[in-house]
Homo-oligomer: A and B are copies of this chain.
């Protein structure tokens, strides 16, 4: 089965188009976890890698039955070097074992043979002699489109070969995203031109639910623009960042979805993984119960989204 259909099936079975962003940050990791790893490894990169993995596993244990997917942001792991990236690999393995679909938020991009190297490592196979290895093992990855079609082709080929999916940046959720992405090409903003390319890249990879393996990242903080993109990209599934902490509201997200409630998956990172620090959950959950607070935050987000879709 195509990966986009696996994702859609899980969205249907959980009745929840939410993806939990596993973006661990030292400030989010409860003291009892840090104390445990520091006792063993000191204040080291290795300790952080271990802490991140414990933190992620405890969250995954509480949310795997409620959401279709998780999205680890590789930067948060790469920051800690080899130790952090080991936690990235093990987080992916653990999430997949629990039945979750994993979207690796890697935003990679490079030309021809270099793009192929990224693809080999993340969604394809790395060859050593005649042996082949799955390395990072994400189900989907995010890509940056600035280099054009030949930078995307190696990934598309591996999607075909290995049943994987992509989300390519169209319109990002950050305040300065418009600086380049909103520049007008004639009457059409760049992000829409990029949307057209993404749509074209995905043409040959449309699954049984009518959506392509090649999706688009479309920020929740720009509802008018998301609405327009939804119209011009009917077969493109959206990965929507920016809900919650970045200011995107559920009301604004409705435009990313079709009438049948499909068409997008909405990410929340710190709103869920650091829920125990929020006013709303602080009194109900102790720091030791941080993962239960995350569970409650997922349920509340699900209800918030259902109210508007």
A interface list, Cβ under 8 A from B: 23, 25-26, 34, 38, 43-45, 47-48, 73, 75-76, 78-82, 84-86, 89, 107-115, 117-118, 120-121, 126-131, 133, 135-136, 144-151, 169, 172-181, 183-185, 190, 193-194, 197
Contact = CB atoms under 8 A, between A and B. Distances in A.
A145 B146 contact: yes
Nearest to A73: B114
Contacts of A130: 43
Nearest to A184: B185
A246 B102 CA distance: 35
Contacts of A78: 117-118, 121
Contacts of A184: 185
A108 B77 CA distance: 14
A43 B126 contact: no
4 closest residue pairs by CB, A with B: A148-B176, A148-B179, A111-B174, A79-B121
A43 B197 CA distance: 39
Contact of A144 (B111, B126, B129, B144): B144
Contacts of A110: 73, 75, 107
A176 B190 contact: no
A185 B147 CA distance: 17
Contacts of A43: 128-131
A153 B128 CA distance: 39
Nearest to A242: B111
A85 to B, nearest CB: 6
B151 A174 contact: yes
Given A75-B117, A78-B118, A82-B89, 5 more contacts: A47-B128, A79-B118, A111-B172, A149-B176, A184-B185
A82 B76 contact: no
Contacts of A75: 108, 110, 114-115, 117-118, 121
B148 A174 contact: yes
Given A114-B73, A180-B193, A172 B147 contact: yes
Nearest to A147: B172
Nearest to A149: B176
Given A127-B26, A144-B146, A194-B180, A135 B172 contact: no
A221 B174 CA distance: 32
Q: Which of A89, A110, A126, A178 gathers the greatest number of chain B CB atoms within 10 Å?
A: A110
A38 B129 contact: yes
Nearest to A175: B150
